[in-house]
């Protein structure tokens, strides 16, 4: 599927927001789903890069990505300008699933992990849920989407690794503190970020008996279930599941992170 | 233009087929195109029992290619027969069952069972699997075990063409091609992946949990073309050319080297619609090259 680049906006050092319009609307998207992007027309880098869908129109006629320049592929994406074309397939995978009964939701996001919550957090807040967003970044300057979450009516708590804003430390340490101080634990935790962070969030949530959904970032060759390269180990079983098809969002108790 | 080919009795609408391990059991690609548009496909390697596969990480990108150590994860013969075949029988495309075992007995038992399944058009033996009785070296890298396992399967496969998929990790692939032909193989698939490794310099250890993996993609194409060339010189049975095919030109290159048909692997991951696309582009390219059929170009590069 060819997409037209509508805009490429720098966010903070090393991060940018791409806005894309597919030739034909992609259809319904669930936050947490991802697309596979071809970074160039030649064969090096060869494989498509997975990217979570960030903000989007309900019919998929426009969607955004929050990208961190991590290597060659994302480096190429960073140079895109308005009017360029991009080869995208998707959306793929299973997104977050917030049950009606969950009245209070704790969202934990690190780095580009804010992407799936750009649409989800406002939707949950608008639906009358009590939404806490815990944002982690290296420094104050690296914080992403704080305004957007505040604007959506969420309670935003910030952690920076250098202490330049909010809690001085990791967002998972902040999560531990929050859980200790809350009169009533949240009904559900949702997280997106690097693997180490997902592991820590899952452990904290399990200790507090809170159902928790995490998004995994395993390397992917295809993104649609054909290569079996992206799998995660099912907890307590001698069995693997594809992250691209059964995930990337899993109940934290389902798989080894 | 008619671009159909006959591969040892397997009728292929066109000479572009999905390679094993990159095409699932076919059905994964139904969301991208109508499977009846393609020549056929090879299933993920099947074993008697289902297999969980290797620990992760299993894949890693390389220059114009990738490494994989999936560990032959598959649903197993029973589930393939009961869950996948009923759907596949309804689709007008050639289904080639790729299979492997860890002992000669496992290979033969599986070959006999697959030979009896209605709707399977051909069998493709993956002999790159470790031989547990011989210290784990791949069947396909030892000429004697290759001969033994191909002969054993040949003796039980009565109904369908038996194709042997050769390992490229040998000194002289034409020796292996000859021994397969002499042992009764009806065709060859050339090549499987080349063994490779990538090291994570920050962790000071291989990226793949398995250490080594199989290299595939455009990076291996010239190696594969040359091996098809060598096998074509060595045997009379038809050859599937495999290795890094990414365009209609690449298809023609393999055919001129001696392939009767080709298989596309890794590029399906990048462009899931590539097989029908290549089949569609092929007639125009053949015309430009002054050819009226695929068959007349088979081995064309060998002629003076
Ligand atoms: C479901 C999913 C959703 C995702 N969503 C997002 C998103 O919304 N935004 C986003 O920015 N990212 C996202 N990612 C991650 C993103 O896909 C990767 O960051 C991207 O693929 C990197 O591609 P690249 O070509 O830029 O980097 P690469 O060139 O592939 O390099 C990646 C990293 O590996 C290092 N590296 C390479 N070779 C070696 C070696 N031999 N030894 C040691 N280190 C090495 C590089 O230095 C670099 O740090 C997501 C991933 C998944 C699976
Ligand atoms: C992820 C992956 C899994 C594979 N699994 C199998 C397999 O189960 N059986 C087999 O015979 N070959 C397997 N192969 C090898 C391919 O069928 C093919 O021979 C090889 O990848 C070269 O072709 P390509 O460069 O077009 O990918 C696999 C390849 C890849 C990339
Ligand atoms: S990325 Fe290929 S199966 Fe998940």
| Beta-carbon contacts of residue A205 (< 8 Å; ≥ 6 apart) | A189, A211, A212, A252
The whole-chain average pLDDT of chain A stands at 96
Nearest ligand atom owner, CA of A11: 1
| Contact assessment for residue B264 and residue B17, using Cβ atoms and an 8 Å cutoff | yes
The full 3-state SS of B215-255, as one line of letters, equals EECHHHHHHHHHHHHHHHHHCCCCEEEECCCCCHHHHHHHH
Confidence of residue B227 (pLDDT cuts 50, 70, 90): very high
Query: How many whole angstroms separate alpha carbon B284 and alpha carbon B203?
Result: 50
Q: Judge if the beta carbon of residue B187 lies within 6 A of ligand 2.
A: no
- pLDDT confidence of residue A183: 87
The pLDDT of residue A108 is above 80: yes
Q: For helices A171-181 and A195-207, what crossing angle results, to 10°?
A: 10
| Contact assessment for residue B25 and residue B43, using Cβ atoms and an 8 Å cutoff | yes
- pLDDT confidence of residue A199: 96
Query: How many whole angstroms separate alpha carbon B163 and alpha carbon B181?
Result: 10
A46–B266 CB contact, under 8 Å: yes
**A68: which strand partners?**
A15
Strands B94-99 and B162-165: unpaired
Judge residue A165's burial from the number of C-beta atoms within 10 Å of its C-beta, 0-12 exposed, 13-18 middle, 19 or more buried. middle
Q: Which domains does chain B have, with CATH numbers?
A: 5-53+71-197+216-302 (3.20.20.70)
| Contact assessment for residue B208 and residue B67, using Cβ atoms and an 8 Å cutoff | yes
State the ipTM, two decimals.
0.95
The pLDDT of residue B127 is above 90: yes
The pLDDT of residue B132 is above 90: no
Strands B16-18 and B10-12: unpaired
- Establish if A70 touches chain B: CB-CB under 8 angstroms: no
CA-to-CA separations, A173 to A109, A116, A178, A197, B129, in angstroms, rounded = 13, 22, 9, 10, 47
Ligand 1 site-directed mutation target among B202, B205, B270, most atoms within 8 Å of CB: B202
Q: End-to-end distance of chain A based on CA atoms, in angstroms?
A: 32
The pLDDT of residue A33 is above 80: yes
Which 73-132 residues of chain A touch chain B by CB within 8 A? 89
**A to B CB pairs, distance under 8 Å:** 84
Residues A113-162: tens digit of each pLDDT = 999 999 999 999 999 999 999 999 999 999 999 999 999 999 999 999 99
CB contacts, 8 Å: A221 with chain B: 59, 61, 66, 68, 266, 269
- pLDDT confidence of residue B134: 76
- Establish if A229 touches chain B: CB-CB under 8 angstroms: yes
Torsion A95-A56-A220-A203 (CA) sign: negative
Q: Which of B23, B138, B24 is nearest to B74 (CA)?
A: B24
Quote the tokens at residue A221.
Answer: 């060759």
CA dihedral B295, B298, B302, B304 (to 10 degrees): 20
Three-class DSSP category at B293: coil
Q: Which of B154, B49, B147 is nearest to B102 (CA)?
A: B49
| Contact assessment for residue B15 and residue B255, using Cβ atoms and an 8 Å cutoff | yes
Q: Which of B178, B170, B183, B48 is nearest to B107 (CA)?
A: B48
- Ligand 3: nearest atom to the Cα of B269: 2
Instruction: Give the residues surrounding ligand 3 with Cβ less than 6 Å away.
Output: A 220-223, 225-230, 242, 244
CB contacts, 8 Å: A89 with chain B: 272
CB contacts, 8 Å: A225 with chain B: 24, 28
Strands A188-192 and A104-110: parallel
Nearest ligand atom owner, CA of A36: 1
- Transcribe B110-151 into DSSP letters: HHHHHHT-TT--EEEEETTSB-GGGTT-BGGGSHHHHHHHHH
Fold of A104-251: Rossmann fold (3.40.50)
- Ligand 3: nearest atom to the Cα of A242: 4
Residues B146-177: tens digit of each pLDDT = 999 999 999 999 999 999 999 999 999 999 99
| Contact assessment for residue A140 and residue A151, using Cβ atoms and an 8 Å cutoff | no
CB contacts, 8 Å: A48 with chain B: 269-270
Question: Which CATH number, 1.10.357.10, 1.10.1060.10, 3.40.50.2000, 2.40.30.10, labels domain A2-92?
Answer: 2.40.30.10
Gap from CA of A221 to ligand 3 centroid (Å): 6
Partner residue facing A44 (CB), from B63, B268, B269: B63
CA-to-CA separations, B103 to A201, B47, B123, B145, in angstroms, rounded = 45, 11, 18, 10
Question: Rounded to a whole number, what is the distance in Å from the CA of A219 to chain B's nearest CA?
Answer: 7
The pLDDT of residue B137 is above 90: no
Confidence of residue B131 (pLDDT cuts 50, 70, 90): confident
The pLDDT of residue B304 is above 80: no
Give me the sheet containing B59-62, strands edge to edge.
Answer: B59-62, B65-68, B213-216, B194-196
pTM of the model: 0.97
The owner of tokens 């979570």 is: A52
| Contact assessment for residue B21 and residue B214, using Cβ atoms and an 8 Å cutoff | no
Quote the tokens at residue A121.
Answer: 């957090």
Q: What is the largest CA-CA distance in chain A?
A: 56
Query: How many whole angstroms separate alpha carbon B226 and alpha carbon A238?
Result: 41
Quote the tokens at residue B277.
Answer: 């696309």
* CB atoms near residue A130 (< 10 Å): 17
Residues A69-84: tens digit of each pLDDT = 999 999 999 999 999 9
Active site residues of B: 129
The pLDDT of residue B133 is above 90: no
Partner residue facing A219 (CB), from B29, B57, B64: B57
Strands B94-99 and B239-242: unpaired
Which 253-272 residues of chain B touch chain A by CB within 8 A? 266, 268-270, 272
CB contacts, 8 Å: B56 with chain A: 218, 231-233, 240
Partner residue facing A226 (CB), from B28, B55, B57: B28
Q: Judge if the beta carbon of residue B68 lies within 6 A of ligand 2.
A: yes
Three-class DSSP category at A81: coil
Among chain B residues, CA nearest to A41: B270
* CB atoms near residue B284 (< 10 Å): 11
Ligand 1 site-directed mutation target among A90, A217, A223, A232, most atoms within 8 Å of CB: A217
Question: Rounded to a whole number, what is the distance in Å from the CA of B207 to chain A's nearest CA?
Answer: 11
Count of all residues that appear for chain B in the document: 304
Give me the sheet containing A2-12, strands edge to edge.
Answer: A49-52, A34-38, A85-92, A2-12, A15-22, A63-68
| Contact assessment for residue B40 and residue B93, using Cβ atoms and an 8 Å cutoff | yes
- pLDDT confidence of residue A198: 97
Domain ranges of chain A: 2-92, 104-251
Quote the tokens at residue B143.
Answer: 């000429």
The pLDDT of residue B69 is above 80: yes
Nearest ligand atom owner, CA of B73: 2
Q: Which of B42, B117, B8 is nearest to B275 (CA)?
A: B42
């Amino acid at each position: 599927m060819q997409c037209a680049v509508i805009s490429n906006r720098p966010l903070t050092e090393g991060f940018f927001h791409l806005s894309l319009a597919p030739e034909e609307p992609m259809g319904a998207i669930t936050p947490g789903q991802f697309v596979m992007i071809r970074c160039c027309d030649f064969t090096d880098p060869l494989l498509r890069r997975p990217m979570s869908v960030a903000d989007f129109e309900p019919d998929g006629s426009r969607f955004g990505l929050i990208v961190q320049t991590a290597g060659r592929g994302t480096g190429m994406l960073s140079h895109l300008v308005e009017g360029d074309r991009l080869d995208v397939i998707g959306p793929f995978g299973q997104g977050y699933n917030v049950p009606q009964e969950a009245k209070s939701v704790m969202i934990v996001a690190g780095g580009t992990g804010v992407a799936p919550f750009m649409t989800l957090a406002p939707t949950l807040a608008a639906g009358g849920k009590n939404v806490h967003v815990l944002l982690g970044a290296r420094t104050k300057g690296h914080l992403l989407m704080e305004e957007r979450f505040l604007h959506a009516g969420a309670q935003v708590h910030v952690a920076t690794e250098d202490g330049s804003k909010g809690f001085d430390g990791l967002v998972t340490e902040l999560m531990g503190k929050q859980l200790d101080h809350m009169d009533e634990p949240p009904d559900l935790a949702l997280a997106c970020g690097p693997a180490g962070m997902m592991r820590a969030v899952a452990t904290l949530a399990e200790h507090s008996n809170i159902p928790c959904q995490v998004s995994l970032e395993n390397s992917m060759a295809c993104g649609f279930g054909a290569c079996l390269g992206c799998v995660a180990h099912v907890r307590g079983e001698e069995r693997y599941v594809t992250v691209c098809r059964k995930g990337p969002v899993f109940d934290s108790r389902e798989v080894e992170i | 233009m008619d671009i159909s080919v006959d591969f040892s009795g397997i009728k292929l609408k066109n000479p572009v087929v999905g390679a094993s391990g990159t095409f699932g059991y076919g059905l994964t690609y139904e969301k991208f195109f109508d499977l009846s548009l393609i020549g056929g496909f090879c299933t993920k390697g099947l074993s008697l029992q289902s297999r969980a596969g290797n620990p992760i990480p299993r894949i890693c990108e390389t220059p114009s290619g990738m490494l994989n150590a999936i560990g032959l994860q598959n649903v197993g013969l029973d589930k393939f027969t009961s869950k996948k075949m009923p759907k596949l029988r309804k689709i007008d495309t050639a289904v080639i069952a790729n299979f492997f075992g860890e002992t000669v007995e496992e290979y033969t038992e599986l070959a006999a069972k697959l030979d009896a399944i209605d709707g399977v058009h051909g069998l493709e033996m993956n002999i790159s699997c470790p031989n547990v009785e011989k210290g784990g070296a791949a069947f396909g890298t030892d000429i004697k075990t290759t001969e033994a396992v191909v002969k054993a399967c040949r003796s039980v496969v009565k109904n369908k063409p038996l194709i042997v998929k050769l390992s490229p990790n040998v000194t002289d692939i034409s020796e292996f091609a000859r021994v397969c032909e002499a042992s009764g193989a009806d065709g060859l698939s050339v090549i499987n992946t080349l063994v490779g490794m990538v090291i994570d310099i920050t962790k000071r250890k291989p990226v793949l949990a398995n250490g080594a993996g199989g290299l595939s993609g455009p990076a291996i194409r010239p190696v594969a073309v040359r091996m098809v060339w060598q096998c074509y010189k060595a045997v009379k049975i038809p050859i599937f050319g495999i290795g890094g095919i990414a365009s209609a030109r690449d298809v023609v290159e393999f055919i001129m080297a001696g392939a009767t048909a080709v298989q596309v692997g890794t590029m399906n991951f990048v462009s899931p619609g590539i097989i029908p696309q290549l089949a569609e582009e092929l007639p125009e390219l053949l015309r430009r090259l002054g050819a009226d059929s695929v068959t007349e170009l088979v081995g064309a590069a060998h002629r003076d």
